[in-house]
Amino acid sequence: MGLLRRFRGDQERLSRDIVEEGDPGALETVGGVDAAYVGEHAHVAAVVCDAESLEPRETAVADVAVEFPYIPTYLAYRELPPIEEAFSRLRTRPDVLLIDGHGRLHPALFGIACLAGLRLGLPTIGVAKHPLRGRPAPGRRRRDGAIPLEIDGVVRGYAWRPPRSSRTLYVSVGHGLSLDAALRIVRETTRDRHPEPLRIADLLAKKRKDVKNGKGGS
């Protein structure tokens, strides 16, 4: 518990370094990373997509033994090292990176997308499938259906359900751009249920996991 308290203190301290303003403008590329696990081994995929066609320009995979256990709200300490390894194998640096996990919608305002943004030095967006923190802001639903989520009276993210999906996504800033820009990028890159860079990264990570664990694939 002492170690977790130290990590929480680190999160709260680093959260003050997060930038939540700016707009990357017209994007050329959008990246995504995701991981699939077998025990304590992470199979991670990183993808860089063309921002207009959403087709992948480059992909990379990595297989990394993880040392930190799965503990809710401390996901970054488990997943970021494998993510960094896969990301380092890309030749193309994306204009913005989507992370399967939370950014500012986190008890310490510092989820995995925040740490990734600081460590990798580029704009990041957290896109999570399940809520962790944040309450709907009264009477502030947007025209696009996104519901602002507040933490301590400040809007830190959006709950948004893609038009062709029955499941809600939880979108928040990781680092280096405004919340409105983050939501716009997520909306523009989503064709079905998830943003394309994350959907492709998820498929590649699962395929890599199956191949490395003798379940077929090529």
Q: At what angle do helices 75-88 and 112-120 cross, to 10 degrees?
A: 40
Q: What angle do CA 144, 197, 75 make, to 5 degrees?
A: 90
13 falls within a domain: no
166 falls within a domain: yes
pLDDT score, position 218: 46
75 falls within a domain: yes
- CA 79 from centre of chain: 11
Number of folded domains that form the chain: 1
pLDDT tens, residue by residue, 53-103 = 999 999 999 999 998 888 888 888 899 999 999 999 999 999 999 999 999
pLDDT score, position 1: 59
The mean pLDDT of 162-174, rounded to a whole number, is 92
Show the domain range for 157.
Answer: 27-212
pLDDT score, position 34: 95
pTM to 2 decimal places: 0.93
Burial label for 167, CB within 10 Å (0-12, 13-18, 19+), is exposed
The two structure tokens encoding residue 124: 């990041």
End-to-end CA distance of the chain: 43
50 falls within a domain: yes
* CA distance readout (Å), 102 to 84, 112, 128, 136: 17, 6, 6, 16
102 closest CA partner among 148, 157, 181, 145:
157
Q: Is the pLDDT at 217 greater than 70, yes or no?
A: no
pLDDT score, position 216: 59
**% of the chain beyond a pLDDT of 90:** 71
Q: In what order do the strands lie in the sheet with 135-136?
A: 56-65, 41-50, 29-38, 96-100, 124-128, 169-175, 154-160, 147-151, 135-136
88 falls within a domain: yes
6 falls within a domain: no
The CATH number assigned to the domain holding 155 equals 3.30.2170.10
Q: How many CB atoms lie within 10 A of CB 119?
A: 16
20 falls within a domain: no
112 falls within a domain: yes
